[in-house]
């Protein structure tokens, strides 16, 4: 799910424009291997009841795309410290994935980051993964 503050496209909110563009690109086949939907606010991306209350018919998110590094850091730290999550940190878009971990990350998070980077470098990274 492409994250934004709201679920509607607003020209004054660049994150909503980016999310909508990614959704259209996926619908055109320019992004493959995933279902892309957005913009979506956090509550209705992860909570089916919140989505239903807002009339959103879409699957729950397995991956949240955020508009920038700061938003991603805030989201990850909240999940780690408030929900006891383990997060893998990667920067995509370069020739190879860049592992991005915090000095405060656990060993498990560091290993998860390295494993995800290795998986993404495989010839067919989605091969053998369960379909969602």
CA dihedral 86, 101, 92, 32 (to 10 degrees): -10
User: What pTM, to 2 d.p., does this model score?
Assistant: 0.65
What pLDDT digit, counting tens, does each position of 88-117 carry?
888 888 888 999 888 989 999 999 999 999
3-state secondary structure at position 122: coil
Of 65, 68, 66, 106, whose CA–CA distance to 87 is shortest?
Answer: 106
Instruction: Work out the angle at residue 78's Cα, subtended by the Cα atoms of residues 67 and 3, and round it to the nearest 5 degrees.
Output: 25
Q: 60 vs 31, which has greater pLDDT?
A: 31
DSSP element (H, E) containing 49: helix 48-53
**Cβ atoms 72, 89 nearer than 8 A:** no
Residue 127 pLDDT exceeds 80: no
Q: For 46-90, how does the pLDDT look when each residue is reduced to its tens digit (9 = 90+)?
A: 888 998 998 988 777 888 888 888 988 899 899 999 999 998 888
Q: What is the mean pLDDT of residues 33-42?
A: 87
Is the pLDDT confidence value at 132 over 60? no
């Amino acid at each position: 799910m492409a994250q934004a503050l709201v679920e509607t496209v607003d020209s004054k909110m660049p994150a909503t424009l980016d999310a909508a563009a990614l959704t259209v690109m996926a619908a055109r086949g320019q992004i493959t291997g995933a279902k892309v939907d957005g913009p979506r606010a956090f509550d209705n991306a992860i909570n089916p009841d919140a989505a239903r209350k807002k009339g959103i018919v879409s699957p729950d998110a397995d991956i949240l795309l955020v508009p920038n590094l700061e938003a991603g850091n805030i989201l990850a730290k909240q999940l780690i410290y408030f929900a006891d999550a383990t997060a893998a940190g990667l920067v995509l878009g370069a020739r190879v994935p860049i592992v991005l971990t915090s000095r405060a990350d656990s060993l498990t998070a560091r290993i998860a980051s390295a494993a995800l980077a290795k998986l993404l470098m495989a010839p067919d990274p989605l091969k053998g993964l369960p379909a969602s």
